[in-house]
Chain A
């Protein structure tokens, strides 16, 4: 480990911008970005599955609130949502004295809430589309077998809907990664925050932002790679025979 550090230090010796310290800002930023995006995506999916089912419900009191939620969060910029949640909650009288403040005081949780609600809305729409496009024959077959609604959802509709939703959802993951770049407006030191810090400190826009762009590219590439593997595996039955 020490040898590695020494080697790194020697490599960086005549570099005034990318010192070990600024690299550690980028490192911390990477951790924050990945945490933020990963957590919001996980919670977003957990939210989106029941919402997507409810979104297609015949009962208006189930369907309409979900429609309204998706409409609002897809209809407003993520930046505005982030501002509202981070700076807006403060104007709720007396919130500093409640247990909520423990969560909302630091910028991470407000950012996580904004990102989760946003990706949740988009994911709900993606899943709803996939559920809606389930071939009628499959549903009729399930009914013919005497399956209950729950069993049919679990065994027939959802598994095939997830497969159909996969390519669109992969896109949403990449969008979310890129959208997370705005987290630094609420003082969170994510990857872009680190780049802005280095930029402002050394007045070196190219160095600071090209470096961070390269990191985002690597992240995006691994997401694409992961989803391609997943698609190859889960959508194998849709490929032409003899492949």
Chain B
């Protein structure tokens, strides 16, 4: 009994010393909204996986800290960060001015365009105010695609806002949506790759103007966690230099 106590005390103090030794960056929790294939989703046996998850784990390993993933719905993801439910968000979050007022972003780690997706027999060729008039457009609520579609086509088309991308795909299958506006990689993997030939992309990929599409995806931190963001930026450039980043990218976006 006594020996156990002494032992555990020893372990505890060792942990404390190790903790102070690794300086100011401690183990963190990262918030993520799943599913959003291929950026973050679950394997059939329930494991979290995806580009963000793999890259996030690689970054944490590079910094030398333990990272735990916390699943959080998209529309509460920034308030959750501020409420300290987790210390960072790595969930396909586009950097833009509005969000920058709320959170501190790392350097962008990927810049995917958005694209229109429609059933294979859709007659829409170039989506614009004229061809989208009276159509049902699907977007995920609170995303930049939501803002873009609402501002440009909110008056002429019927904008359906979904809590998750899954619900949107379900309604797309049901024939309730004429067209959906999504991050290109997500749309490609959920609609094009998984539904044999039922869907196609329509028009060009869109990543302008910066007002809506921002500068790419970034990891979000609380404003005061500058050192943490700095550590992630350094780790990111290391991973890009040593080829780990390219490996992960090829795994999810390779042809």
**Could you jot down 18 A-B contacts, CB within 8 Å?**
A90-B174, A96-B175, A105-B175, A107-B160, A187-B161, A187-B171, A189-B161, A193-B161, A197-B142, A197-B161, A200-B75, A200-B141, A201-B142, A202-B98, A203-B78, A203-B79, A203-B98, A203-B102
Indicate if A196 sits at the interface (CB-CB under 8 A): yes
With contacts A90-B173, A187-B161 taken as known, whether A196 is within 8 angstroms of B78 at the C-beta atoms is no
Indicate if A224 sits at the interface (CB-CB under 8 A): no
Chain A residues 140-163 with CB under 8 Å of chain B are none
Indicate if B111 sits at the interface (CB-CB under 8 A): no
Indicate if A65 sits at the interface (CB-CB under 8 A): no
- A205 close to B79 (CB less than 8 A): yes
A200 to B, closest residue via Cβ: B142
Would you give the shortest CB distance from A188 to chain B, in whole angstroms? 9
- When distances are taken between beta carbons in the complex, the residues of chain A under 8 Å from B147 are 201
- A87 close to B141 (CB less than 8 A): no
Would you give the shortest CB distance from B85 to chain A, in whole angstroms? 14
A interface, CB within 8 angstroms of B: 87, 90, 96, 101, 105-107, 185, 187, 189, 193, 196-197, 199-203, 205
Query: Which 8 A-B residue pairings sit nearest by Cβ, starting from the closest?
Result: A200-B142, A90-B174, A187-B160, A200-B75, A96-B175, A203-B78, A203-B102, A200-B141
- When distances are taken between beta carbons in the complex, the residues of chain B under 8 Å from A185 are 163
Contact with A along B88-124 (1 / 0, CB 8 A): 0000000000110010000000000000000000000
**A185–B73 Cα gap in the complex (Å)?**
13
Indicate if B162 sits at the interface (CB-CB under 8 A): yes
Indicate if B146 sits at the interface (CB-CB under 8 A): yes
B interface, CB within 8 angstroms of A: 74-75, 78-79, 98-99, 102, 141-142, 146-147, 160-163, 167, 170-171, 173-176
**A106–B99 Cα gap in the complex (Å)?**
32
- B176 close to A105 (CB less than 8 A): yes
Residue from B74, B99, B175 with most neighbouring chain A CB atoms (10 Å): B175
- B75 close to A187 (CB less than 8 A): no
**A187–B171 Cα gap in the complex (Å)?**
10
- A196 close to B176 (CB less than 8 A): no
Would you give the shortest CB distance from B8 to chain A, in whole angstroms? 43
**A205–B174 Cα gap in the complex (Å)?**
32
Residue among B160, B163, B170 making CB contact with A90, cutoff 8 Å: B170
Would you give the shortest CB distance from A120 to chain B, in whole angstroms? 26
- When distances are taken between beta carbons in the complex, the residues of chain A under 8 Å from B173 are 90
- B170 close to A197 (CB less than 8 A): no
- A196 close to B79 (CB less than 8 A): no
**A35–B69 Cα gap in the complex (Å)?**
42
**A189–B141 Cα gap in the complex (Å)?**
11
- A87 close to B75 (CB less than 8 A): no
- When distances are taken between beta carbons in the complex, the residues of chain B under 8 Å from A200 are 74-75, 141-142, 146
**A73–B162 Cα gap in the complex (Å)?**
26
Would you give the shortest CB distance from B220 to chain A, in whole angstroms? 11
- When distances are taken between beta carbons in the complex, the residues of chain A under 8 Å from B160 are 107, 187
**A204–B83 Cα gap in the complex (Å)?**
13
**A174–B102 Cα gap in the complex (Å)?**
37
**A159–B161 Cα gap in the complex (Å)?**
45
**A152–B171 Cα gap in the complex (Å)?**
50
Residue among B98, B99, B141, B167 making CB contact with A196, cutoff 8 Å: B141
- When distances are taken between beta carbons in the complex, the residues of chain B under 8 Å from A189 are 161
**A106–B135 Cα gap in the complex (Å)?**
12
**A96–B176 Cα gap in the complex (Å)?**
9
A87 to B, closest residue via Cβ: B170
